[in-house]
Amino acid sequence: MSNDQEASISNIELNAQYTGSLGGAVIRHTLIFFVVMFIWEMANRTGFSNPLLLPRPTDIAASIWKIYVTQGNVWYHLWVTFQEAMLGCLIGSVIGIALAVAAVLSDSFRQFLKPYIIIVEATPRIALGPIFVTWFGFGMSSKVALAALVCFFAPFVNTITGLLGVQEESYELFRSLGATRRQVFWRLMIPTALPTMNAGLKLAVGSAFGGALVAEFISAQAGMGILMARYTMSLNMPSAFAGLLSITLYGFLLFRTMEVIDKRVLYWLDDDLMAKKSAKREIKYRQELGL
Amino acid sequence: MAEDIVISGSGLRKQFNENVIAVEDANFTIPRGSFISLVGPSGCGKSTLLRLISGLIEKSEGDLLVRSNEVVGPRSDIGMMFQKAVLLDWRTSIENVLLPDEIRGTIDTDAKKRAWDHLQLVGLKDFEFSFPRQLSGGMQQRVALARLLQTGADIMLLDEPFGALDEFTRERLNDELLRIVEGPDITTLFVTHNIQEAIYLADQVFVMTPRPGRIAAQIKIDLPTPRNIDMTTTPEFNNYVQQVRDVLSGHLDGQPL
Protein backbone atom coordinates (compact mmCIF):
# COMPACT_ATOMS: atom_id res chain seq x y z
CA MET A 1 0.00 0.00 0.00
CA SER A 2 2.73 2.46 0.90
CA ASN A 3 4.37 1.81 -2.47
CA ASP A 4 1.26 2.89 -4.30
CA GLN A 5 1.10 5.99 -2.22
CA GLU A 6 4.64 6.84 -3.08
CA ALA A 7 3.95 6.26 -6.74
CA SER A 8 1.02 8.65 -6.77
CA ILE A 9 1.37 12.37 -7.04
CA SER A 10 0.24 12.74 -3.48
CA ASN A 11 3.53 12.47 -1.72
CA ILE A 12 4.46 16.08 -1.40
CA GLU A 13 5.08 16.19 2.31
CA LEU A 14 8.45 17.35 3.49
CA ASN A 15 9.54 14.53 5.69
CA ALA A 16 12.08 16.61 7.53
CA GLN A 17 12.46 15.92 11.23
CA TYR A 18 13.55 18.55 13.69
CA THR A 19 16.85 17.41 15.04
CA GLY A 20 16.97 20.01 17.80
CA SER A 21 14.24 20.87 20.27
CA LEU A 22 10.97 22.33 19.04
CA GLY A 23 11.40 25.36 21.26
CA GLY A 24 14.75 26.08 19.65
CA ALA A 25 13.20 25.95 16.20
CA VAL A 26 10.46 28.39 17.22
CA ILE A 27 13.00 30.84 18.64
CA ARG A 28 15.16 30.51 15.54
CA HIS A 29 12.31 31.19 13.11
CA THR A 30 10.91 34.04 15.21
CA LEU A 31 14.34 35.64 15.22
CA ILE A 32 14.69 35.28 11.45
CA PHE A 33 11.21 36.78 11.02
CA PHE A 34 12.02 39.88 13.03
CA VAL A 35 15.39 40.38 11.38
CA VAL A 36 13.81 40.16 7.90
CA MET A 37 11.00 42.52 8.96
CA PHE A 38 13.51 44.97 10.38
CA ILE A 39 15.67 45.01 7.24
CA TRP A 40 12.55 45.35 5.09
CA GLU A 41 11.26 48.23 7.19
CA MET A 42 14.63 49.98 7.21
CA ALA A 43 15.10 49.52 3.46
CA ASN A 44 11.79 51.30 3.00
CA ARG A 45 12.43 54.09 5.46
CA THR A 46 15.87 54.86 4.03
CA GLY A 47 14.39 55.05 0.53
CA PHE A 48 16.31 51.97 -0.59
CA SER A 49 13.11 50.38 -1.93
CA ASN A 50 9.92 51.94 -3.21
CA PRO A 51 7.20 51.89 -0.50
CA LEU A 52 4.58 52.30 -3.19
CA LEU A 53 5.33 48.83 -4.62
CA LEU A 54 6.66 47.06 -1.57
CA PRO A 55 4.85 48.42 1.48
CA ARG A 56 6.42 48.60 4.92
CA PRO A 57 5.72 45.80 7.37
CA THR A 58 4.28 48.33 9.80
CA ASP A 59 1.88 49.56 7.11
CA ILE A 60 0.85 45.99 6.32
CA ALA A 61 0.20 45.37 10.02
CA ALA A 62 -1.94 48.50 10.14
CA SER A 63 -3.85 47.35 7.06
CA ILE A 64 -4.51 43.96 8.63
CA TRP A 65 -5.98 45.77 11.62
CA LYS A 66 -8.04 47.90 9.30
CA ILE A 67 -9.53 45.22 7.07
CA TYR A 68 -10.23 42.85 9.94
CA VAL A 69 -11.27 45.24 12.71
CA THR A 70 -11.94 48.87 11.98
CA GLN A 71 -13.29 48.38 8.47
CA GLY A 72 -14.00 44.67 8.88
CA ASN A 73 -14.75 44.27 5.16
CA VAL A 74 -12.51 41.23 4.63
CA TRP A 75 -14.79 38.77 6.41
CA TYR A 76 -17.48 38.92 3.77
CA HIS A 77 -15.02 38.34 0.94
CA LEU A 78 -13.32 35.49 2.77
CA TRP A 79 -16.69 33.85 3.27
CA VAL A 80 -17.60 34.19 -0.42
CA THR A 81 -14.31 32.68 -1.59
CA PHE A 82 -14.55 29.95 1.04
CA GLN A 83 -17.99 28.94 -0.18
CA GLU A 84 -16.93 28.96 -3.82
CA ALA A 85 -13.81 26.92 -3.16
CA MET A 86 -15.50 24.34 -0.93
CA LEU A 87 -18.52 23.87 -3.14
CA GLY A 88 -16.29 23.59 -6.20
CA CYS A 89 -14.05 21.14 -4.39
CA LEU A 90 -17.01 19.03 -3.39
CA ILE A 91 -18.40 18.91 -6.92
CA GLY A 92 -15.02 18.26 -8.56
CA SER A 93 -14.03 15.55 -6.08
CA VAL A 94 -17.36 13.74 -6.27
CA ILE A 95 -17.22 13.69 -10.07
CA GLY A 96 -13.55 12.66 -10.01
CA ILE A 97 -14.10 9.83 -7.54
CA ALA A 98 -17.26 8.63 -9.27
CA LEU A 99 -15.57 8.51 -12.68
CA ALA A 100 -12.54 6.78 -11.18
CA VAL A 101 -14.70 4.11 -9.55
CA ALA A 102 -16.55 3.53 -12.81
CA ALA A 103 -13.27 3.36 -14.71
CA VAL A 104 -11.83 0.80 -12.31
CA LEU A 105 -14.94 -1.37 -12.26
CA SER A 106 -15.31 -1.41 -16.04
CA ASP A 107 -12.33 -1.93 -18.33
CA SER A 108 -14.27 -0.82 -21.39
CA PHE A 109 -15.29 2.42 -19.70
CA ARG A 110 -11.65 3.00 -18.75
CA GLN A 111 -10.61 2.61 -22.39
CA PHE A 112 -13.40 4.92 -23.45
CA LEU A 113 -12.46 7.59 -20.91
CA LYS A 114 -8.72 7.59 -21.57
CA PRO A 115 -8.48 10.06 -24.52
CA TYR A 116 -10.73 12.57 -22.76
CA ILE A 117 -8.68 12.42 -19.62
CA ILE A 118 -5.53 13.03 -21.63
CA ILE A 119 -7.13 16.10 -23.22
CA VAL A 120 -8.21 17.45 -19.83
CA GLU A 121 -4.76 16.78 -18.43
CA ALA A 122 -3.07 18.58 -21.32
CA THR A 123 -5.23 21.70 -20.92
CA PRO A 124 -4.03 24.21 -18.34
CA ARG A 125 -7.20 24.25 -16.30
CA ILE A 126 -7.12 27.90 -15.29
CA ALA A 127 -7.03 28.85 -18.99
CA LEU A 128 -10.73 27.98 -18.99
CA GLY A 129 -11.37 30.76 -16.48
CA PRO A 130 -12.48 33.46 -18.98
CA ILE A 131 -14.68 30.94 -20.81
CA PHE A 132 -16.32 29.82 -17.57
CA VAL A 133 -17.00 33.42 -16.56
CA THR A 134 -18.67 33.96 -19.91
CA TRP A 135 -20.71 30.78 -19.56
CA PHE A 136 -21.69 30.94 -15.92
CA GLY A 137 -21.73 34.67 -15.32
CA PHE A 138 -20.02 37.06 -12.93
CA GLY A 139 -21.54 35.52 -9.82
CA MET A 140 -20.44 32.58 -7.76
CA SER A 141 -21.27 29.81 -10.23
CA SER A 142 -18.35 30.53 -12.57
CA LYS A 143 -15.94 30.41 -9.60
CA VAL A 144 -17.48 27.19 -8.35
CA ALA A 145 -17.15 25.73 -11.84
CA LEU A 146 -13.47 26.61 -12.17
CA ALA A 147 -12.72 25.37 -8.65
CA ALA A 148 -14.49 22.11 -9.51
CA LEU A 149 -12.47 21.71 -12.69
CA VAL A 150 -9.22 22.38 -10.87
CA CYS A 151 -10.21 19.90 -8.12
CA PHE A 152 -11.28 17.10 -10.37
CA PHE A 153 -7.96 15.63 -11.30
CA ALA A 154 -6.13 14.67 -8.10
CA PRO A 155 -9.05 12.73 -6.57
CA PHE A 156 -9.66 11.07 -9.94
CA VAL A 157 -6.08 9.88 -10.44
CA ASN A 158 -5.55 8.93 -6.81
CA THR A 159 -8.79 6.98 -6.59
CA ILE A 160 -7.81 4.97 -9.66
CA THR A 161 -4.32 4.36 -8.27
CA GLY A 162 -5.70 3.36 -4.88
CA LEU A 163 -8.35 1.01 -6.20
CA LEU A 164 -5.95 -0.67 -8.60
CA GLY A 165 -3.57 -1.22 -5.68
CA VAL A 166 -5.72 -3.99 -4.18
CA GLN A 167 -3.68 -7.19 -4.15
CA GLU A 168 -4.83 -10.16 -6.22
CA GLU A 169 -4.64 -12.40 -3.14
CA SER A 170 -7.07 -10.14 -1.29
CA TYR A 171 -9.58 -10.61 -4.09
CA GLU A 172 -9.00 -14.36 -3.95
CA LEU A 173 -9.60 -14.38 -0.21
CA PHE A 174 -12.88 -12.53 -0.56
CA ARG A 175 -14.01 -14.71 -3.44
CA SER A 176 -13.11 -17.90 -1.59
CA LEU A 177 -15.29 -16.66 1.26
CA GLY A 178 -18.15 -16.20 -1.18
CA ALA A 179 -18.24 -12.41 -1.00
CA THR A 180 -20.57 -10.46 -3.28
CA ARG A 181 -19.26 -7.72 -5.57
CA ARG A 182 -20.76 -5.15 -3.26
CA GLN A 183 -18.94 -6.64 -0.25
CA VAL A 184 -15.67 -6.72 -2.17
CA PHE A 185 -16.13 -3.07 -3.09
CA TRP A 186 -17.06 -1.67 0.32
CA ARG A 187 -15.09 -3.94 2.61
CA LEU A 188 -11.95 -4.38 0.57
CA MET A 189 -11.49 -1.94 -2.31
CA ILE A 190 -12.59 1.32 -0.71
CA PRO A 191 -10.71 0.94 2.61
CA THR A 192 -7.58 -0.21 0.75
CA ALA A 193 -7.75 2.82 -1.54
CA LEU A 194 -8.66 5.28 1.21
CA PRO A 195 -5.14 6.52 2.09
CA THR A 196 -4.39 7.32 -1.55
CA MET A 197 -7.85 8.80 -2.09
CA ASN A 198 -7.45 11.04 0.94
CA ALA A 199 -4.11 12.28 -0.34
CA GLY A 200 -5.86 13.26 -3.56
CA LEU A 201 -8.57 15.08 -1.64
CA LYS A 202 -5.94 17.00 0.31
CA LEU A 203 -4.42 18.23 -2.94
CA ALA A 204 -7.88 19.10 -4.26
CA VAL A 205 -8.75 21.23 -1.24
CA GLY A 206 -5.51 23.15 -1.69
CA SER A 207 -6.06 23.81 -5.37
CA ALA A 208 -9.77 24.67 -4.97
CA PHE A 209 -8.82 27.95 -3.40
CA GLY A 210 -6.56 28.84 -6.32
CA GLY A 211 -9.28 28.00 -8.82
CA ALA A 212 -11.82 30.23 -7.13
CA LEU A 213 -9.32 33.10 -6.84
CA VAL A 214 -8.32 32.98 -10.51
CA ALA A 215 -11.97 33.13 -11.58
CA GLU A 216 -12.48 36.09 -9.24
CA PHE A 217 -9.45 37.89 -10.70
CA ILE A 218 -11.09 37.65 -14.11
CA SER A 219 -14.38 39.11 -13.02
CA ALA A 220 -16.39 39.03 -9.83
CA GLN A 221 -18.63 41.01 -7.54
CA ALA A 222 -17.18 39.68 -4.32
CA GLY A 223 -14.40 37.46 -2.98
CA MET A 224 -10.77 37.70 -2.00
CA GLY A 225 -9.65 37.72 -5.63
CA ILE A 226 -11.63 40.81 -6.56
CA LEU A 227 -10.74 42.49 -3.26
CA MET A 228 -7.03 42.08 -3.93
CA ALA A 229 -7.45 43.16 -7.54
CA ARG A 230 -9.18 46.35 -6.37
CA TYR A 231 -6.46 47.10 -3.81
CA THR A 232 -3.65 46.65 -6.35
CA MET A 233 -5.43 48.69 -8.99
CA SER A 234 -5.81 51.57 -6.56
CA LEU A 235 -2.16 50.99 -5.51
CA ASN A 236 -3.26 50.29 -1.96
CA MET A 237 -0.36 47.87 -1.58
CA PRO A 238 -0.43 47.45 2.21
CA SER A 239 -4.02 46.18 2.01
CA ALA A 240 -3.20 43.95 -0.97
CA PHE A 241 -0.42 42.36 1.08
CA ALA A 242 -2.78 42.00 4.02
CA GLY A 243 -5.17 40.19 1.72
CA LEU A 244 -2.38 37.93 0.45
CA LEU A 245 -1.39 37.05 4.01
CA SER A 246 -5.02 36.24 4.78
CA ILE A 247 -5.16 33.83 1.88
CA THR A 248 -1.94 32.16 2.97
CA LEU A 249 -3.21 31.77 6.51
CA TYR A 250 -6.53 30.48 5.27
CA GLY A 251 -4.83 27.92 3.00
CA PHE A 252 -2.62 26.81 5.84
CA LEU A 253 -5.57 26.33 8.21
CA LEU A 254 -7.47 24.36 5.59
CA PHE A 255 -4.50 22.10 4.95
CA ARG A 256 -4.02 21.49 8.67
CA THR A 257 -7.70 20.68 9.05
CA MET A 258 -7.46 18.20 6.21
CA GLU A 259 -4.42 16.61 7.81
CA VAL A 260 -6.23 16.19 11.12
CA ILE A 261 -9.25 14.63 9.41
CA ASP A 262 -6.94 12.47 7.33
CA LYS A 263 -5.18 11.16 10.41
CA ARG A 264 -8.47 10.39 12.16
CA VAL A 265 -9.95 8.56 9.21
CA LEU A 266 -6.78 6.58 8.51
CA TYR A 267 -6.30 5.59 12.15
CA TRP A 268 -4.54 2.36 11.20
CA LEU A 269 -1.56 4.29 9.85
CA ASP A 270 -0.90 6.08 13.13
CA ASP A 271 0.61 4.27 16.11
CA ASP A 272 -1.07 6.33 18.84
CA LEU A 273 -4.52 6.24 17.28
CA MET A 274 -4.16 2.51 16.68
CA ALA A 275 -3.40 1.95 20.35
CA LYS A 276 -6.43 4.00 21.38
CA LYS A 277 -8.71 2.23 18.93
CA SER A 278 -7.61 -1.21 19.99
CA ALA A 279 -8.16 -0.36 23.67
CA LYS A 280 -11.67 0.87 22.85
CA ARG A 281 -12.57 -2.20 20.86
CA GLU A 282 -11.16 -4.46 23.53
CA ILE A 283 -13.57 -2.98 26.08
CA LYS A 284 -16.48 -3.39 23.68
CA TYR A 285 -15.69 -7.01 22.89
CA ARG A 286 -14.89 -8.01 26.44
CA GLN A 287 -18.26 -6.65 27.51
CA GLU A 288 -20.12 -8.49 24.80
CA LEU A 289 -18.28 -11.77 25.33
CA GLY A 290 -18.36 -11.50 29.12
CA LEU A 291 -14.62 -11.97 29.46
CA MET B 1 -18.49 -44.95 -3.96
CA ALA B 2 -15.70 -44.93 -1.44
CA GLU B 3 -17.11 -43.04 1.52
CA ASP B 4 -14.03 -41.25 2.61
CA ILE B 5 -12.76 -39.73 -0.64
CA VAL B 6 -13.36 -35.96 -0.40
CA ILE B 7 -11.53 -34.73 -3.50
CA SER B 8 -10.85 -36.54 -6.72
CA GLY B 9 -9.57 -35.51 -10.11
CA SER B 10 -9.27 -37.45 -13.32
CA GLY B 11 -7.85 -36.23 -16.59
CA LEU B 12 -7.89 -32.77 -15.05
CA ARG B 13 -6.41 -30.10 -17.28
CA LYS B 14 -6.00 -26.35 -17.08
CA GLN B 15 -4.76 -24.33 -19.99
CA PHE B 16 -4.37 -20.55 -19.64
CA ASN B 17 -3.61 -19.78 -23.27
CA GLU B 18 -2.21 -21.55 -26.32
CA ASN B 19 1.24 -22.03 -24.85
CA VAL B 20 0.66 -22.37 -21.13
CA ILE B 21 -0.65 -25.68 -19.89
CA ALA B 22 -0.60 -25.20 -16.12
CA VAL B 23 -2.04 -28.58 -15.21
CA GLU B 24 -2.09 -31.59 -17.52
CA ASP B 25 -3.84 -34.93 -16.99
CA ALA B 26 -3.96 -34.84 -13.19
CA ASN B 27 -5.39 -38.00 -11.64
CA PHE B 28 -5.68 -38.24 -7.89
CA THR B 29 -7.93 -39.09 -4.97
CA ILE B 30 -7.67 -37.46 -1.58
CA PRO B 31 -9.08 -39.30 1.43
CA ARG B 32 -10.86 -37.48 4.21
CA GLY B 33 -8.63 -36.36 7.05
CA SER B 34 -5.41 -36.70 5.09
CA PHE B 35 -2.61 -34.20 4.72
CA ILE B 36 -1.32 -33.87 1.17
CA SER B 37 1.74 -31.85 0.24
CA LEU B 38 2.12 -30.54 -3.29
CA VAL B 39 5.80 -30.03 -3.97
CA GLY B 40 7.63 -28.89 -7.06
CA PRO B 41 9.58 -26.02 -8.60
CA SER B 42 7.85 -22.77 -9.49
CA GLY B 43 5.66 -22.99 -12.55
CA CYS B 44 4.79 -26.66 -12.01
CA GLY B 45 1.12 -25.89 -11.57
CA LYS B 46 0.80 -26.63 -7.85
CA SER B 47 -0.86 -23.30 -7.08
CA THR B 48 -3.08 -23.69 -10.12
CA LEU B 49 -4.19 -27.14 -8.94
CA LEU B 50 -5.02 -25.62 -5.55
CA ARG B 51 -7.05 -22.84 -7.16
CA LEU B 52 -8.91 -25.34 -9.34
CA ILE B 53 -9.97 -27.27 -6.25
CA SER B 54 -10.92 -24.06 -4.45
CA GLY B 55 -13.21 -23.09 -7.31
CA LEU B 56 -11.40 -19.77 -7.83
CA ILE B 57 -10.54 -20.75 -11.41
CA GLU B 58 -12.28 -23.03 -13.88
CA LYS B 59 -10.79 -26.22 -15.28
CA SER B 60 -10.37 -26.64 -19.03
CA GLU B 61 -11.04 -30.38 -19.21
CA GLY B 62 -11.48 -33.49 -17.10
CA ASP B 63 -13.31 -34.20 -13.88
CA LEU B 64 -12.85 -32.57 -10.52
CA LEU B 65 -15.13 -33.65 -7.72
CA VAL B 66 -15.36 -32.41 -4.15
CA ARG B 67 -17.67 -34.60 -2.08
CA SER B 68 -18.91 -36.15 -5.33
CA ASN B 69 -19.96 -32.77 -6.72
CA GLU B 70 -18.40 -31.07 -9.67
CA VAL B 71 -16.52 -27.94 -8.58
CA VAL B 72 -18.29 -24.90 -9.99
CA GLY B 73 -17.11 -22.15 -7.67
CA PRO B 74 -15.98 -21.34 -4.14
CA ARG B 75 -17.73 -23.43 -1.49
CA SER B 76 -18.11 -22.96 2.22
CA ASP B 77 -16.47 -26.28 3.19
CA ILE B 78 -13.23 -25.15 1.53
CA GLY B 79 -10.99 -22.53 3.13
CA MET B 80 -7.80 -20.97 1.86
CA MET B 81 -4.60 -19.49 3.20
CA PHE B 82 -1.97 -17.71 1.17
CA GLN B 83 1.71 -16.84 1.34
CA LYS B 84 0.70 -13.35 2.37
CA ALA B 85 -1.52 -13.15 5.43
CA VAL B 86 -3.94 -10.90 3.47
CA LEU B 87 -5.24 -9.18 6.58
CA LEU B 88 -7.30 -6.01 6.46
CA ASP B 89 -5.04 -3.35 7.97
CA TRP B 90 -7.93 -1.36 9.43
CA ARG B 91 -9.21 -4.26 11.52
CA THR B 92 -7.95 -5.80 14.73
CA SER B 93 -7.03 -9.49 14.82
CA ILE B 94 -10.42 -10.56 16.08
CA GLU B 95 -12.21 -8.43 13.49
CA ASN B 96 -10.09 -10.00 10.77
CA VAL B 97 -10.95 -13.47 12.06
CA LEU B 98 -14.62 -12.51 11.95
CA LEU B 99 -14.50 -11.57 8.26
CA PRO B 100 -15.94 -14.91 7.06
CA ASP B 101 -18.94 -14.50 9.39
CA GLU B 102 -19.40 -10.93 8.32
CA ILE B 103 -19.46 -11.87 4.64
CA ARG B 104 -21.89 -14.70 5.26
CA GLY B 105 -24.04 -12.57 7.55
CA THR B 106 -23.59 -14.98 10.46
CA ILE B 107 -21.92 -12.58 12.85
CA ASP B 108 -23.25 -12.79 16.42
CA THR B 109 -21.94 -13.17 19.94
CA ASP B 110 -21.46 -16.86 19.34
CA ALA B 111 -19.29 -16.22 16.28
CA LYS B 112 -17.27 -13.69 18.26
CA LYS B 113 -16.70 -16.26 21.00
CA ARG B 114 -15.47 -18.76 18.44
CA ALA B 115 -13.18 -16.12 16.93
CA TRP B 116 -11.77 -15.47 20.39
CA ASP B 117 -11.21 -19.20 20.92
CA HIS B 118 -9.53 -19.59 17.54
CA LEU B 119 -7.14 -16.79 18.38
CA GLN B 120 -6.22 -18.56 21.63
CA LEU B 121 -5.78 -21.80 19.69
CA VAL B 122 -3.25 -20.29 17.27
CA GLY B 123 -1.33 -18.75 20.19
CA LEU B 124 -2.42 -15.13 19.90
CA LYS B 125 -3.54 -14.59 23.47
CA ASP B 126 -3.14 -10.87 24.30
CA PHE B 127 -3.02 -9.93 20.62
CA GLU B 128 -6.75 -10.20 19.95
CA PHE B 129 -7.09 -6.45 19.53
CA SER B 130 -3.82 -5.66 17.82
CA PHE B 131 -3.84 -4.27 14.33
CA PRO B 132 -1.93 -6.16 11.61
CA ARG B 133 0.75 -3.47 11.46
CA GLN B 134 1.49 -4.11 15.12
CA LEU B 135 2.14 -7.82 14.52
CA SER B 136 5.17 -9.71 13.20
CA GLY B 137 4.94 -11.70 9.97
CA GLY B 138 4.53 -14.94 11.89
CA MET B 139 1.76 -13.52 14.05
CA GLN B 140 -0.02 -12.19 10.98
CA GLN B 141 -0.03 -15.70 9.54
CA ARG B 142 -1.44 -16.96 12.83
CA VAL B 143 -4.34 -14.52 12.44
CA ALA B 144 -4.83 -15.81 8.89
CA LEU B 145 -4.88 -19.36 10.25
CA ALA B 146 -7.46 -18.41 12.89
CA ARG B 147 -9.56 -16.81 10.14
CA LEU B 148 -9.32 -20.04 8.14
CA LEU B 149 -10.50 -22.03 11.19
CA GLN B 150 -13.33 -19.54 11.64
CA THR B 151 -14.72 -20.40 8.20
CA GLY B 152 -15.53 -23.83 9.60
CA ALA B 153 -14.17 -25.37 6.40
CA ASP B 154 -12.93 -28.93 6.77
CA ILE B 155 -10.94 -28.80 3.54
CA MET B 156 -7.98 -26.48 3.94
CA LEU B 157 -5.98 -25.31 0.96
CA LEU B 158 -2.71 -23.73 2.00
CA ASP B 159 -0.57 -22.03 -0.64
CA GLU B 160 2.96 -21.76 0.82
CA PRO B 161 1.43 -20.28 3.96
CA PHE B 162 4.69 -19.87 5.84
CA GLY B 163 6.94 -19.43 2.82
CA ALA B 164 7.78 -15.81 3.58
CA LEU B 165 8.76 -16.46 7.21
CA ASP B 166 12.14 -17.28 8.67
CA GLU B 167 13.16 -20.91 9.17
CA PHE B 168 12.52 -21.05 12.94
CA THR B 169 9.10 -19.44 12.80
CA ARG B 170 8.17 -21.67 9.91
CA GLU B 171 9.10 -24.86 11.76
CA ARG B 172 7.12 -23.82 14.80
CA LEU B 173 4.08 -22.85 12.77
CA ASN B 174 4.25 -26.12 10.82
CA ASP B 175 4.11 -28.07 14.08
CA GLU B 176 1.20 -26.01 15.32
CA LEU B 177 -0.59 -26.46 12.02
CA LEU B 178 -0.19 -30.25 12.31
CA ARG B 179 -1.59 -30.16 15.82
CA ILE B 180 -4.63 -28.16 14.65
CA VAL B 181 -5.51 -30.19 11.55
CA GLU B 182 -4.74 -33.62 12.97
CA GLY B 183 -7.60 -36.04 13.32
CA PRO B 184 -10.05 -37.61 10.89
CA ASP B 185 -12.05 -34.51 10.01
CA ILE B 186 -9.83 -31.95 8.39
CA THR B 187 -8.38 -32.58 4.96
CA THR B 188 -5.37 -30.44 4.14
CA LEU B 189 -3.60 -29.59 0.90
CA PHE B 190 -0.31 -27.85 1.45
CA VAL B 191 1.66 -26.27 -1.39
CA THR B 192 5.40 -25.82 -0.86
CA HIS B 193 8.65 -25.87 -2.79
CA ASN B 194 10.54 -27.20 0.21
CA ILE B 195 11.00 -30.97 -0.08
CA GLN B 196 11.76 -31.58 3.63
CA GLU B 197 8.77 -29.55 4.71
CA ALA B 198 6.52 -31.40 2.26
CA ILE B 199 7.54 -34.80 3.62
CA TYR B 200 7.59 -33.77 7.26
CA LEU B 201 3.98 -32.59 7.20
CA ALA B 202 2.25 -35.00 4.90
CA ASP B 203 0.62 -38.40 4.71
CA GLN B 204 1.16 -38.24 0.99
CA VAL B 205 3.34 -36.08 -1.25
CA PHE B 206 2.32 -35.15 -4.78
CA VAL B 207 5.49 -34.35 -6.70
CA MET B 208 4.77 -31.95 -9.53
CA THR B 209 6.90 -31.13 -12.56
CA PRO B 210 6.58 -28.19 -14.95
CA ARG B 211 5.91 -27.66 -18.67
CA PRO B 212 3.29 -28.96 -18.70
CA GLY B 213 2.38 -29.13 -15.02
CA ARG B 214 1.91 -32.77 -14.08
CA ILE B 215 1.67 -34.85 -10.95
CA ALA B 216 4.74 -36.93 -11.65
CA ALA B 217 4.54 -39.09 -8.52
CA GLN B 218 2.34 -39.64 -5.50
CA ILE B 219 4.44 -40.86 -2.62
CA LYS B 220 2.89 -42.23 0.58
CA ILE B 221 4.82 -41.14 3.65
CA ASP B 222 4.82 -43.90 6.26
CA LEU B 223 6.42 -42.02 9.10
CA PRO B 224 4.92 -42.27 12.58
CA THR B 225 2.58 -39.52 13.79
CA PRO B 226 2.68 -37.15 15.51
CA ARG B 227 5.75 -35.97 13.67
CA ASN B 228 8.65 -34.36 15.41
CA ILE B 229 11.69 -32.57 14.14
CA ASP B 230 14.08 -35.42 15.10
CA MET B 231 12.53 -37.58 12.40
CA THR B 232 14.02 -35.36 9.73
CA THR B 233 17.44 -36.89 10.36
CA THR B 234 16.37 -40.54 10.15
CA PRO B 235 17.35 -42.72 7.16
CA GLU B 236 13.67 -43.28 6.31
CA PHE B 237 13.11 -39.56 6.06
CA ASN B 238 16.16 -39.07 3.88
CA ASN B 239 14.99 -41.94 1.77
CA TYR B 240 11.80 -40.03 1.02
CA VAL B 241 13.78 -36.89 0.27
CA GLN B 242 15.86 -38.85 -2.20
CA GLN B 243 12.75 -40.31 -3.83
CA VAL B 244 11.28 -36.86 -4.38
CA ARG B 245 14.59 -35.57 -5.70
CA ASP B 246 14.84 -38.47 -8.14
CA VAL B 247 11.39 -37.78 -9.49
CA LEU B 248 12.12 -34.09 -9.91
CA SER B 249 15.57 -34.52 -11.48
CA GLY B 250 14.28 -37.23 -13.82
CA HIS B 251 11.81 -34.74 -15.20
CA LEU B 252 13.89 -31.65 -15.03
CA ASP B 253 17.00 -32.96 -16.81
CA GLY B 254 17.66 -30.89 -19.86
CA GLN B 255 14.79 -28.51 -19.11
CA PRO B 256 15.63 -24.84 -18.82
CA LEU B 257 14.63 -23.66 -15.39
For residue range B146-161, list pLDDT tens digits in order.
999 999 999 999 999 9
Using 50, 70 and 90 to split pLDDT, how confident is the model at A73?
A: confident
Q: What is the dihedral of CA B219, B224, B225, B228, to 10 degrees?
A: -100
Residue A13, pLDDT > 60, answer no
Put simply, whether A179 touches B (Cβ < 8 Å) is yes
- Write the pLDDT tens digit of every residue in B12-47: 989 888 778 888 888 999 999 999 999 988 888 899
> Residues A247-283: pLDDT tens digits?
999 888 988 999 999 999 999 999 999 999 999 999 9
| Averaged pLDDT for residues B117-128 | 93
The pLDDT, as a whole number, for residue A17 is: 54
The 10s digit of each residue's pLDDT in A124-151 is 888 888 999 899 988 899 999 999 999 9
| Mean pLDDT of all residues in B93-107 | 95
Chain B partners within 8 Å of A175 (Cβ) = 56, 74
Shared domain for B58 and B103, answered yes or no, is no
CB-CB under 8 Å, B80 with A172:
yes
Please give the residue that has the higher pLDDT: either B250 or B49. Answer: B49
Tell me the pLDDT band of A108, cut-offs 50, 70 and 90: very high
* Residue A206 scores a pLDDT above 90: no
- Own/partner pairs, B174-179, CB within 8 angstroms, 24+ separation: B174/B200, B174/B201, B175/B227, B175/B228, B175/B229, B176/B122, B176/B123, B177/B145, B177/B201, B178/B35, B178/B226, B178/B227, B179/B226
Contact between chains at A289 and B133 (C-beta distance less than 8 A): no
**Beta strands B187-192 and B35-39: pairing type?**
parallel
Res B210: pLDDT: 85
Residues B147 and B159 in one domain: no
- Is the Cβ of B5 closer than 8 Å to some Cβ of chain A? no
Q: Is the domain of B147 the same as that of B251?
A: no
For chain B, say whether A191 makes contact (Cβ under 8 Å). Answer: yes
Output the pLDDT for position B228.
83
Q: Provide the pLDDT for residue A1.
A: 38
For residue B188, the enclosing domain spans 1-77+154-257
pLDDT at A16 over 80: no
**What is A73-289's CATH number?**
1.10.3720.10
Are residues A285 and B94, on separate chains, in Cβ contact within 8 Å? yes
- Residue A187 in this model has a pLDDT that exceeds 90: yes
Which one-letter amino acid corresponds to residue B204? Answer: Q
pLDDT at A7 over 80: no
CA angle A197, A1, B151 (to 5 degrees): 105
Domain boundary among B152, B183, B206: B152
Mutate to test the interface with B, among A2, A173, A282 (most CBs of B within 10 A): A173
How far does chain B reach from its first CA to its final CA, in angstroms? 41
Rounded distance, CA A220 to CA A132, Å? 12
Q: How many CB pairs under 8 A join A and B?
A: 79
Instruction: Give the separation between CA A127 and CA A129, rounded to whole angstroms.
Output: 5
pLDDT above 70 (res B122)? yes
Residue B3 has pLDDT above 90, yes or no: no
The count of structural domains within chain B is 2
Query: Within an 8 Å CB–CB cutoff, is residue B120 touching chain A?
Result: no
CATH of the domain at B58: 3.40.50.300
Partner residue facing B104 (CB), from A175, A178, A291: A178
Report the b/e string of B91-113 with b at 16+ CB within 10 A: bbbbbbbbbbbbbbeeeeeebbe
Q: Is residue A84 scored above 70 in pLDDT? A: yes
Domain ranges of chain A: 73-289
Q: Which of B136, B152, B168 is the last residue of a domain?
A: B152
- pLDDT at residue A71 is higher than 90: no
What was the pLDDT predicted at B252? 64
Say yes or no: B206 and B98 in one domain.
Answer: no
Percent of chain B with pLDDT over 70: 96
Give pLDDT, residue A185: 96
Whether residue B174 is found in the same domain as residue B143: no
Contact (Cβ atoms closer than 8 angstroms) between residue A218 and residue A133: yes
Closest CA to A242 of A77, A66, A64, A53: A64
Instruction: Say whether pLDDT at B192 is over 90.
Output: yes
pLDDT band for B255, please (50, 70, 90 cuts): low
Q: Average pLDDT, stretch A35-48?
A: 88
Give me the mean pLDDT over the A216-235 stretch.
Answer: 90
B31 and B98 inside one domain: no
Q: Residue B244 pLDDT more than 80? A: yes
Q: For A181-198, what is the mean pLDDT?
A: 96
Shared-domain flag, residues B46 and B93: no
Structural domain ending residue among the three candidates B152, B181, B205: B152
User: B208 and B119, same structural domain?
Assistant: no
C-beta of residue B201 within 8 angstroms of C-beta of residue B178? yes
- Rounded to the nearest angstrom, the minimum Cα separation between A41 and chain B is 53
**What pLDDT is recorded for position A6?**
40
Q: Is the dihedral of CA B180, B198, B139, B96 positive or negative?
A: negative
